[in-house]
A and B are shown apart, each in its own frame.
Chain A
């Protein structure tokens, strides 16, 4: 799991030492050069989708191995899920507080999509509509899927 994260995302932000835990933590918690210049910053907002190959994220850093997009997080996640190719993904939503490595989970199946954030992990079945008790991501993604704002 951490190897997938590091090889497709973390290595663009932190030097790989061979310690998967430490490398993932350095990518998620460390400061990285920004595209606009200035002081290095932590990944502290926006979202990222870790894909096999080239990953995509919203916050713009100087790292070149990653694509950058401007969509909001749930629109990006919905597009990714609708174009699901069966390969693993990691869905990350960032905030001021860094995401603990323990909160990073790979999504292998549309029936168990995992949205990782600093506060925890939301898991839902993308193939069925949300219930009253479902999490925010499930509800918003399904709203967007239905064409509602």
Chain B
């Protein structure tokens, strides 16, 4: 692990550096294995003294160092990619919108049904936005969470199940009644396939997983107000919503300290491509979709994924 060393400009009046736009004069150095290695050039004005501060949290209380663009596995710590952030809210401005880390919790009054997948927050928000915008690309572009090279700062669903069961539903399709015959491909004689009006196309049984849990929580980083506005109208989540499963009684948002990508123990909170993950890499690597749209195999890559959701 890299140990971060901060070069801070020391003024005569010992004023603290401010996290304003003028960040020149501040920079970070990275050291590996305890050996100092200058990773960038400080842009300080001439004649101003510099020193190393080994622990920014102690020496610059009230501020933390944040990456402008999230680091990938092999990326070097570069001062040009860092900025100050207040520890209070860990706020930053992105695209003119106040961004912050948050946690969102859905309180459930009925079990929810899932067909697999990680139920990521950005997926949920994109689905909600699609209802409003009726345009897939526009919905994906409008998801109000921070995004780095396609990787959304939005975790998968986190819940502690009381029970997990299998459940099957029979869907009845009466193609001859409910579909417009003009939309169905005809056979060589120009007629509908006989199965369309036959019973063989009538019933389909699908098996899902039924999860009973009091709450589902997501972590993320982005525009919390917009996230809450979108989720406030969501009364049911998961599959079989129309049958009463996954009823949400209320949504709650709170300040969080996770970015939606890596958890407290370095575990992935969502599918993260191997080359973009900087947490615990002892976990299994799984082929998983890591960005919207999650249903597309084109968006799959070798990823670290949350424990217990590998089957998705």
Complex interface bits, A75-115 against B, C-beta within 8 A gives 1, otherwise 0: 00000000000001000000000000110111111011010
Complex interface bits, B292-312 against A, C-beta within 8 A gives 1, otherwise 0: 000111101110000000110
**One of B295, B300, B310, B311 near A1 (C-beta < 8 A):** B300
Q: List 22 A-B contacts (CB under 8 A).
A: A1-B287, A1-B297, A1-B300, A2-B298, A2-B300, A20-B298, A21-B296, A21-B298, A24-B297, A102-B295, A104-B297, A106-B287, A107-B287, A108-B285, A108-B286, A108-B302, A109-B285, A111-B284, A112-B310, A114-B287, A123-B310, A125-B284
Most buried by B among A2, A107, A108: A108
B residues near A104, Cβ cutoff 8 Å: 297
B residues near A114, Cβ cutoff 8 Å: 287
In the complex, residue of chain B having the shortest beta-carbon distance to the beta carbon of A88? B302
Most buried by A among B297, B301, B302, B310: B297
Rounded to whole Å, the gap between the CB of B160 and the closest CB of chain A is 20
Rounded to whole Å, the gap between the CB of A91 and the closest CB of chain B is 12
**How far is B285's CA from A20's CA once the two chains are assembled, in angstroms?**
22
Give the 9 A-B residue pairs with the shortest CB-CB distance, closest first. A111-B284, A108-B285, A106-B287, A109-B284, A1-B300, A112-B284, A105-B287, A123-B311, A112-B286
A residues near B311, Cβ cutoff 8 Å: 123
In the complex, residue of chain A having the shortest beta-carbon distance to the beta carbon of B274? A108
Using known A-B contacts A88-B302, A123-B310, A123-B311, determine if residue A108 contacts B297 with beta carbons closer than 8 Å.
no
- Inter-chain CB contacts under 8 Å: number: 40
Rounded to whole Å, the gap between the CB of A146 and the closest CB of chain B is 23
B residues near A106, Cβ cutoff 8 Å: 287, 300, 302
- The secondary structure that dominates the A interface is mixed
How many residues of chain B are within 8 Å of chain A by beta carbon? 13
CB-based contact B287/A2 at 8 Å: no
Rounded to whole Å, the gap between the CB of A43 and the closest CB of chain B is 18
Query: How many residues of A sit at the interface, in one of the four size bands?
Result: 10 to 19
In the complex, residue of chain B having the shortest beta-carbon distance to the beta carbon of A102? B297
A residues near B284, Cβ cutoff 8 Å: 108-109, 111-112, 125
**How far is B297's CA from A104's CA once the two chains are assembled, in angstroms?**
8
**How far is B285's CA from A101's CA once the two chains are assembled, in angstroms?**
20
CB-based contact B297/A101 at 8 Å: yes
B residues near A109, Cβ cutoff 8 Å: 284-286
**How far is B287's CA from A106's CA once the two chains are assembled, in angstroms?**
6
**How far is B284's CA from A125's CA once the two chains are assembled, in angstroms?**
10
B residues near A111, Cβ cutoff 8 Å: 284
**How far is B310's CA from A133's CA once the two chains are assembled, in angstroms?**
16
Using known A-B contacts A1-B301, A123-B311, determine if residue A108 contacts B287 with beta carbons closer than 8 Å.
yes
**How far is B301's CA from A101's CA once the two chains are assembled, in angstroms?**
15
A residues near B297, Cβ cutoff 8 Å: 1-2, 21, 24, 101-102, 104
**How far is B307's CA from A111's CA once the two chains are assembled, in angstroms?**
12
In the complex, residue of chain B having the shortest beta-carbon distance to the beta carbon of A21? B298
**How far is B310's CA from A1's CA once the two chains are assembled, in angstroms?**
16
Rounded to whole Å, the gap between the CB of B33 and the closest CB of chain A is 27
**How far is B301's CA from A20's CA once the two chains are assembled, in angstroms?**
14
**How far is B311's CA from A29's CA once the two chains are assembled, in angstroms?**
25
Complex interface bits, A54-89 against B, C-beta within 8 A gives 1, otherwise 0: 000000000000000000000000000000000010
CB-based contact A112/B300 at 8 Å: no
- Can you add 8 more A-B contacts, CB < 8 Å, to A21-B297, A112-B310? A1-B297, A2-B298, A2-B300, A102-B297, A108-B302, A109-B285, A112-B284, A112-B285
